């Protein structure tokens, strides 16, 4: 019975840790304003297009 209690406690602690990590990531994500997100997306798109045009055709 003691093993089940420890397993349950470990599960609860894992859930709390996961929730804290998700909350931290959400705060970091929301810190960007719309212009920064748009600029980052444009940069990623330009990099993808550049990789596509420099990749050898098969």
* pLDDT tens per residue across span 5-46: 999 999 999 999 999 999 888 887 778 888 988 999 999 999
Report the sign of the C-alpha dihedral through residues 5, 7, 9, 15, in that order: negative
Lowest mean pLDDT among 1-5, 16-20, 54-58: 54-58
- Residue 36: how many CB atoms within 10 A of its CB? 10
Supply the range of the domain harboring residue 12. 2-54
How many domains are there within the chain? 1
Q: Where are the alpha helices (DSSP H) in 1-58?
A: 2-30, 34-54
């Amino acid at each position: 019975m003691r093993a089940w209690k420890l397993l349950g406690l470990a599960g609860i602690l894992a859930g709390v840790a996961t929730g804290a990590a998700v909350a931290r990531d959400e705060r970091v994500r929301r810190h960007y304003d719309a212009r920064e997100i748009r600029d980052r997306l444009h940069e990623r798109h330009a990099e993808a297009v550049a990789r596509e045009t420099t990749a050898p055709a098969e």
